[in-house]
Amino acid sequence: MLHFRNICLLILLATSPFSVTAQQVVPLYDGKAPGWLPAAATVKENIRTDKTVGLLVSSITEPTLEVFLPEEGKKNGTAVIICPGGGYGVLLLNREGRDVAKAFNGSGVAAFVLKYRLPSTALFSDPVNVPLQDAQRAIQIVRERAEEWKIDPRKVGIMGFSAGGHLAATAGTHFDRPVIGAKPGVSLRPDFMLLINPVISFTDSIGHAGSRRNLLGPSPAPSQVRWFSNELQVTAQTPPAFLVHAGDDTVVGEKNSLLFYQALRAHNIPGSLHIYQKGEHGFLKDLGFGEWFGRCLFWMQQAGWM
């Protein structure tokens, strides 16, 4: 059970103006990332700060996992890979990454912030699959090094915000269709998904046009749109999910979460859905971090992941 003091600590961690630092930064690949084109060698990572959402990172050619491990006495064996959002154009690396990782550490959960590559036809030969390659490789690494990091390889979840939620949901619905080299005995299936105001669909009616354009280009084929509309890709093997959204989200409509939850339930997959009346996209207004994050932790406990 979460006590009031713990909630206050979580809010403090999430709203602290000080940057948190990973204990370890792990390159996803030995050498160049898949599909690397010569132009990628000349690109410098772009880092800037926005007064509303904080640190923004783009032009990523060398993807990494930032490792945040809880104190020895707190470790419970659970791990969460965090995919920051940013419309597949930038990454909100602190607000939707490092700050959340530290909050997980407070509850004994190991957290890994994924700095994934963003689609670019100039930098990569297969830009559409670049983010998913990095997400699948992240899952692979965490399971390969589970003993070193004192993680239960059967309790590895993935979390995503906005377009990062789309990536996390794609990892959860496309794990049986690898876009990286699969390794014997290492599953690419996340054990659970935590989806925060996620982009789920790329359909015209409810999808987020900017994320779709950045990932698939200006004129995607209908088959591509369907392939990456994750509410249409749920099967009986899709992992359970926690979803949270604001009803007044004018960037990514709450129907994204609703349709994904309905698809899960149609296949008898456990899930939890929370729609708040207010909060806007990213819960920048009217709702504190501790409120929805506390419910997220409770669901993880209730479902047996913690």
List the CATH number of the domain containing 192.
3.40.50.1820
Calpha distance 234→274 (Å, rounded) = 19
pLDDT of residue 8: 44
- What pLDDT, on the 0 to 100 scale, is given for residue 75? 92
Strands 192-196 and 241-246: parallel
Over 60: is that where the pLDDT of 16 sits?
no
In the chain, the number of structural domains is 1
**What pLDDT score does 17 carry?**
41
Range of the domain at 142: 4-302
Yes or no: say if 142 and 151 are a contact pair by the CB < 8 Å rule.
yes
10: helix, coil or strand? helix
Whole-angstrom distance, CA of residue 53 vs CA of residue 214: 20
Q: How much is the average pLDDT of 269-277? A: 95
> With 60 as the cut, is the pLDDT of residue 45 above it?
yes
pLDDT over 80 (residue 213): yes
What is the per-residue pLDDT across 20-41, written as a single tens digit (0 to 9) for each?
677 899 999 999 999 999 999 9
Whether the per-residue pLDDT at 18 is higher than 60: the answer is no
> In the structure encoding, which two tokens stand for residue 255, read together?
């129907």
pLDDT digits (tens, 9 = 90+) for 143-196: 999 999 999 999 999 999 999 999 999 999 999 999 999 889 999 999 999 999
Contact indicator for 125, 35 with CB cutoff of 8 Å: yes
Which strand ranges, in their side-by-side order, compose the sheet holding 64-68?
Answer: 24-27, 64-68, 110-115, 79-83, 156-161, 192-196, 241-246, 271-276
Under DSSP, is residue 97 helix (H, G, I), strand (E, B) or coil? helix
Compute the distance between CA of residue 154 and CA of residue 305 in angstroms, rounded to an integer. Answer: 9
For range 245-253, the mean pLDDT: 92
Distance of CA 132 to the CA centre of its chain: 11
